[in-house]
């Protein structure tokens, strides 16, 4: 079986797992930290800043069953691509939106998709999501993994309370 990696940062990683893991061809979705300079950072260290990391999900997928293009389209629909300084209620560098590409093909797909989103006129502000090379990825602590399944009430309250769900409903329900 063919396998590939995709890595996306879109604010709190709790909200980035479920939309991907339910898709055919997704083998695993891991919450973690990437894009920084500290080895094996903890959640506390990332939240306090100074590690350079952002919360992200790393997806192992079968490209014969789901394309990277499809994953990028799912990604856009989970984020506010016009907000460079965080996502929804979560502010700061550790919540910035980034597509981390693993090869030149992923980079080209992400860049074209970003141009297409800008040209669509869906948003009144510029698309500021960064597209950067993938770096070391460090899985988050176990209690963060599959948070939506382990703590469904807390997850739903957070998703609503952060403003994420209302934004998605307003901009992507068509």
pLDDT higher than threshold 80 for residue 4 = yes
Q: What is the pLDDT of residue 54?
A: 97
Q: How confident is the model at residue 89 (pLDDT cuts 50, 70, 90)?
A: very high
Q: Tell me the average pLDDT across 55-71.
A: 98
Enter the DSSP assignment of 94: G
Average pLDDT of every residue of the chain: 96
Domain ranges of the chain: 4-172
Q: What is the pLDDT of residue 100?
A: 98
Q: What is the DSSP string of 128-168?
A: --EEEE---EEEPPGGGTTHHHHSHHHHHHHHHHTSHHHHH
Q: Is 77 helix (H, G, I), strand (E, B) or coil?
A: coil
Q: Could you give the CA distance from residue 130 to residue 98 in angstroms, rounded to a whole number?
A: 5
CATH architecture under which domain 4-172 falls: 2-Layer Sandwich (3.30)
Which residues lie below 8 Å from residue 140, measured CB to CB, with a gap of 6+?
13, 30, 31, 32, 33, 43, 55
Helices 164-172 and 152-161 pack at an angle, to 10 degrees, of 60
Q: Is the model's pTM score more than 0.85? A: yes
Q: What percent of the chain has pLDDT over 70?
A: 99
Q: Among 4, 9, 12, 98, which one carries the catalytic annotation?
A: 12
Whether 12 is a known active-site residue: answer yes
């Amino acid at each position: 079986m063919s396998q590939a990696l995709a890595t996306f940062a879109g604010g709190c990683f709790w909200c980035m797992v479920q939309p991907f893991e339910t898709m055919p061809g997704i083998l695993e979705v891991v919450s973690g930290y990437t894009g920084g300079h500290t080895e094996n950072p903890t959640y506390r260290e990332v939240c306090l800043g100074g590690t350079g990391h952002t919360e992200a999900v790393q997806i192992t997928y079968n490209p014969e069953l789901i394309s990277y293009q499809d994953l990028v389209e799912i990604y856009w629909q989970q984020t506010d691509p016009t907000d460079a300084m965080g996502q929804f209620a979560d502010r700061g560098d550790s919540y910035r939106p980034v597509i981390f590409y693993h090869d030149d093909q992923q980079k080209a797909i992400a860049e074209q998709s970003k141009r297409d989103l800008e040209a669509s006129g869906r948003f009144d502000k510029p698309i500021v999501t960064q597209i950067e090379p993938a770096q070391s990825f460090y899985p988050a602590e176990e209690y963060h993994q599959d948070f939506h399944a382990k703590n469904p009430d807390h997850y739903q309250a957070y998703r609503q309370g952060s403003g994420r769900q209302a934004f998605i409903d307003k901009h992507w329900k068509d």
